[in-house]
């Protein structure tokens, strides 16, 4: 053996002098036969070649022992730091077995020396990111390792390393405290991203949202561009089990976008981003940056543990979200959600009942009644009146609505909307008052309307042919007529007005009611007759009459489009009946009332031409229209 040493020493020195870029892990005899491992180890140790000794130890997986010799080699030759050797090409087929042994040693003995050796091995194998993490851990466990930090080539926050260690041990709150310290020591997008992820894991969703927003816009004065530095789905900073345990899966938020992206629900994440943008909780550039992050994460794939939690964030039924918002009194959010559902699904019974619940909770009883009418009309004959309003807005809100609607009816019995909403509410609550209110409702609106007929069908004890009217006075009939008119039941309204006139022809407001009833059903000669009567009863004359007169017809319509339709029909009728002057005057008066004086001029001047003799006050209306049209 000793005879071989003089031959081997020059070879080893020549290799070591070549900038230490080729590491002689295998010494050979003069005849080219490889020396046994034990001899190679003794030779390198005897000759003071720490690098050869370290590599020989690594062949056996002795990472902790190799650490001392690696340190000595690095201290002796700075070129190993500035120009690290390429172990993959040097070791060839030996590289993988050696890497496996070192990794196994690290798992069994996660000491500072094991981390150092593993870090150097990965660094020299061209795997810098993994090497840096391992060398940082070596520095942390050793309580300070200048050589490890020198190899990393950067100033490392020990708090950051402690945070990683705590997170690997599933101690999220300890990791959060460490990363907060790291953020104050050495702020960076990476550390801020880790801080936001740990806030989310610890259940501080609102604070996490603020940090995510800061990552979206690191510089408030500069525009946002590219993918924001929020950790992607493959980042080790996401403690998915802790996040899923604390995430609010109903309220749209940046945190919920993150959770969905981690769980592989990128489409749902995008929908939530849309919702936040539409509700002005994200600016356009923040929305674009978040969308870029979602797309980036989708390209990488979900979190490695996403399969365990995909069911948690599967998008809940849309109307269930609306119900949750209603119970939380997030009425604006519920309204936005219903608007999107209307666009996506169209008009459906679910849309009507949830809209009714929203309107009732907002104390918009008229709109609630309209939605309830549409809902009842759309229900199948055998369908139940479900879901109940109480299940959507809660018992307290329903009790308040019931009290409020009853009070409205006590003050205004003709309020058919309050009556309708109360009937539906009462049927769901099995109240005794339903029979009486539904019977009156049938009188007010007519029992042939689907919204009423389907309620009657659900209460067979109520007569399908209610009495003509339970009203005993002309005043009651007039109010019932007004209620029917406002609901668009113009034939029924005209009928009630005529009945009121039969009981008291001098009833106040009757003439205007008869005018609008006849006008609405197309009986224009009768409507004109009532208009002339209104003109005759006016206490003012001349110019003042023309300036202030109003029949009140337009104001009686709930929908202006109905008035416009009826006025258009009257205009057509006048063009076809040039020998009937009074409707021409009526048309001119109603056009002035509608704010269209220029359109009124032809009809008022036409009346002047075909009437014989024309009314004296017609000239004042014509002059008034001409002045207003200028």
Q: What is the pLDDT of residues 162-171, one digit of tens each?
A: 787 777 777 8
**Least reliable range by pLDDT among 106-120, 437-451, 532-546:** 437-451
Whether a cis peptide bond, with omega within 30° of 0, leads into 387 is: yes
Residue percentage of the chain with pLDDT more than 70: 85
pLDDT, position 363: 92
Question: How many helices (H) and strands (E) in the chain?
Answer: 38, 0
pLDDT in tens, 257-266: 887 888 777 8
The SS3 of residue 297 is helix
* Helix-, strand-, coil-residue percentages of the chain, each rounded to 5: 70, 0, 30
In this prediction, residues 465-490 reach a mean pLDDT of 70
The model's confidence at residue 518, banded by pLDDT at 50, 70 and 90, is very high
Question: Hey, CA dihedral for 401, 402, 406, 409, is it positive or negative?
Answer: positive
State yes or no: pLDDT of 515 exceeds 90.
yes
State yes or no: pLDDT of 480 exceeds 70.
yes
Element (H, E) at 547: helix 542-548
pLDDT, position 562: 87
In this prediction, residues 534-541 reach a mean pLDDT of 79
∠ CA(349), CA(350), CA(355), 5° rounding? 100
pLDDT in tens, 381-432: 777 787 888 888 888 888 888 889 888 887 888 788 888 898 898 888 878 7
Mean pLDDT (the chain) is 79
State yes or no: pLDDT of 315 exceeds 70.
no
Neighbours of 625 (CB within 10 A): 24
Query: Could you give the C-alpha distances from 362 to 329, 330, 366, 418, 461, in angstroms and in order?
Result: 9, 11, 11, 14, 34
The full set of domain ranges for the chain reads: 1-154, 157-315, 318-467, 515-629
Q: Give the class (CATH, top level) of 1-154.
A: mainly alpha
**Topology alike, domains 1-154 and 515-629:** yes
**Least reliable range by pLDDT among 181-185, 349-353, 423-427, 570-574:** 181-185
Backbone φ and ψ of 34, nearest 5°? -70, 135
Residue 110 per-residue DSSP state: -
Between CA 252 and CA 244 the distance in angstroms is 15
In this prediction, residues 423-451 reach a mean pLDDT of 78
pTM attached to this predicted model:
0.36
State yes or no: pLDDT of 62 exceeds 80.
yes
State yes or no: pLDDT of 597 exceeds 70.
yes
pLDDT, position 220: 65
| The CATH fold of domain 515-629 | 1.25.40
Residue percentage of the chain with pLDDT more than 90: 7
In this prediction, residues 582-598 reach a mean pLDDT of 90
In this prediction, residues 578-606 reach a mean pLDDT of 88
Q: Among 105, 125, 116, which Cα is nearest to 74's?
A: 116
pLDDT, position 218: 67
State yes or no: pLDDT of 309 exceeds 70.
no
Question: Hey, CA dihedral for 414, 417, 420, 423, is it positive or negative?
Answer: negative
Convert 361-418 into a string of H (helix), E (strand) and C (coil): HCCCHHHHHHHHHHHHHHCCCCCCCCCCHHHHHCHHHHHHHHHHHHHHHHHCCCCHHH
State yes or no: pLDDT of 32 exceeds 70.
no
pLDDT in tens, 340-373: 777 767 888 888 999 999 999 999 999 998 999 8
């Amino acid at each position: 053996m000793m005879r071989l040493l003089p031959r081997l020493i020059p070879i080893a020195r020549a290799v070591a002098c070549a900038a230490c870029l080729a590491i002689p892990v295998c010494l050979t005899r003069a005849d080219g036969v490889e020396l046994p491992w034990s001899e190679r180890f003794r030779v390198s140790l005897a000759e003071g070649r720490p690098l050869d000794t370290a590599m020989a130890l690594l062949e056996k997986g002795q990472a902790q022992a190799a650490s001392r010799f690696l340190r000595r080699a690095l201290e002796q030759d700075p070129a190993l730091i500035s120009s690290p050797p390429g172990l993959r090409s040097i070791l060839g087929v030996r590289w993988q077995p050696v890497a496996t042994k070192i990794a196994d040693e690290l798992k069994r003995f996660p000491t500072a020396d094991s981390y150092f050796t593993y870090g150097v091995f990965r660094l020299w194998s061209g795997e810098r990111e993994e090497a840096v993490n391992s060398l940082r851990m070596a520095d942390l466990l050793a309580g300070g390792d200048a050589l490890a930090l020198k190899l990393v080539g950067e100033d490392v926050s020990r708090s950051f390393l402690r945070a990683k260690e705590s997170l690997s041990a599933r101690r999220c709150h300890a990791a959060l405290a460490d990363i907060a310290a790291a953020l104050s020591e050495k702020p960076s997008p990476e550390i801020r991203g880790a801080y936001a992820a740990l806030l989310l894991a610890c259940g501080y969703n609102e604070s996490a949202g603020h940090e995510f927003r800061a990552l979206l816009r690191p510089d408030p004065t500069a525009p946002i561009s590219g993918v924001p530095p929020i950790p992607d789905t493959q980042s080790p900073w996401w403690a998915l089990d802790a996040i899923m345990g604390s995430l609010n899966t109903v309220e749209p938020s940046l945190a919920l976008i993150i959770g969905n992206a981690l769980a592989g629900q990128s489409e749902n994440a995008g929908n939530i981003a849309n919702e936040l943008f539409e509700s002005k909780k994200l600016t356009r550039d923040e929305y674009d940056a978040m969308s870029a992050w979602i797309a980036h994460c989708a390209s990488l794939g979900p979190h490695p543990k996403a399969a365990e939690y995909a069911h948690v964030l599967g998008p809940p039924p849309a109307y269930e979200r609306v119900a949750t918002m209603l119970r939380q009194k997030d009425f604006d959010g519920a309204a936005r959600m219903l608007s999107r559902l209307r666009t996506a699904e169209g008009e459906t019974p679910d849309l009507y009942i949830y809209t009714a619940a929203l309107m009732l909770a907002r104390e918009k009883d008229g709109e609630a009644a309209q939605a309830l009418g549409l809902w009842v009309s759309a229900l199948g004959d055998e369908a139940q009146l479900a879901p109940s309003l109480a299940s959507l807005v809660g018992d307290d809100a329903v009790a308040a609505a019931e009290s409020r609607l009853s009070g409205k009816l006590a003050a205004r019995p003709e309020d058919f909307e309050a009556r309708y909403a109360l009937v539906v509410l009462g049927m769901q609550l099995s109240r005794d008052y339903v029979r009486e209110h539904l019977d009156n409702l049938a009188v007010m609106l007519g029992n042939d309307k689907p919204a009423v007929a389907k309620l009657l069908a659900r209460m067979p004890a109520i007569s399908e042919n209610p009495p003509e009217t339970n009203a005993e006075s002309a005043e009651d009939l007039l109010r019932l007529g007004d209620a029917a008119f406002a609901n668009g039941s113009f034939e029924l309204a005209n009928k009630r007005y005529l009945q009121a006139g039969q009981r008291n022809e001098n009833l106040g407001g009757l003439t205007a009611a008869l005018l609008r009833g006849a006008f609405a059903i197309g009986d224009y000669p009768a409507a004109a007759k009532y208009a002339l009567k209104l003109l005759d009863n006016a206490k003012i004359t001349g110019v003042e009459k023309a300036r202030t007169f109003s029949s009140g017809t337009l104001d009686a319509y709930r929908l202006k489009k109905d008035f416009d339709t009826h006025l258009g029909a009257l205009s057509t009728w006048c063009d076809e009946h040039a020998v009937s002057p009074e409707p021409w005057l009526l048309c001119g008066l109603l056009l002035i009332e509608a704010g269209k004086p220029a359109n009124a001029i032809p009809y008022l001047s036409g009346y002047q031409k075909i009437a014989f003799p024309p009314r004296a006050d017609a000239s004042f209306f014509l002059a008034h229209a001409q002045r207003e049209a200028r």
